[in-house]
Amino acid sequence: EVSFQLSLKIELWQDVLGQDMDLWCGYTQRSFWQFYNFDDSSPFRETNYEPELLLNVRTDYSILGLRGRFINVGFNHQSNGQSEPLSRSWNRVVANFGFERGPFCLLLKGWYRIPESRDDDDNPHIEDYLGYGEIWAYYFLKNHRFGLMLRNNCDFHTNRGAVQVEWSFPLLKWVSGYIQYYNGYGESLLDYNHSVNRIGIGFILADWN
């Protein structure tokens, strides 16, 4: 499969009401393309759409040797745009906490799913697979970026989670090589309740400001 992602973030309101906080709008789209499946004309298996609205509070405090740089709260929607029985969607209230220390960055992400009626819920028990949050850690070393994501539903009886390890390294001025390993649940909405084990090799474009 070929997987690619586009992520955008736009600042809508800086210094909201004269305070150290900003309003942001974000959008992420990730597609899974079966490019090598020529027998079926190389179809797109799934595309996940994820718009969100975040209020970002700029902070500066210390905890356990880390500097707390921001707290953001907001609304997140994620869906795959397909019709039943392949439709998947959910809405969340999210809260994220960002920390840093030198070349090390830590992001703690938490969410609460907005309940749906049983008739409207096309992701039954998705929290049992994706839990209520995840941890992202990054380390930067001479234009190399090493990343780790950990997620778990914290249920000792039916424990499910995911781990992602990634490495990006410089190739050209605006392009970096990218290697990723993923194991666990929730890589895509369609497969939220199926465990995936995959390694990917590709490239990532430099951030555009």
Catalytic residue numbers, as ranges: 77, 79
The amino acid at residue 148 is: L
Closest C-alpha among 2, 1, 38, 8 to residue 205: 8
Who contacts 162 (Cβ-Cβ below 8 Å, separation ≥6)? 134, 149, 150, 151, 152, 182, 183, 184, 185, 186, 187
Classify burial at 153, counting beta carbons within 10 Å of its beta carbon; exposed 0-12, middle 13-18, buried 19 or more: buried
Q: Say whether the peptide bond before residue 85 is cis (omega within 30 degrees of 0).
A: yes
Q: Which residue has the tokens 């974000």?
A: 26
128 in Cβ contact with 98 (< 8 Å): no
Structure tokens at 47: 């595309």
16 in Cβ contact with 25 (< 8 Å): no
Structure tokens at 142: 């001479």
Q: Across the beta sheet with 161-170, what order do the strands follow?
A: 2-13, 21-33, 44-63, 66-79, 89-101, 104-113, 133-141, 144-152, 161-170, 175-184, 196-205
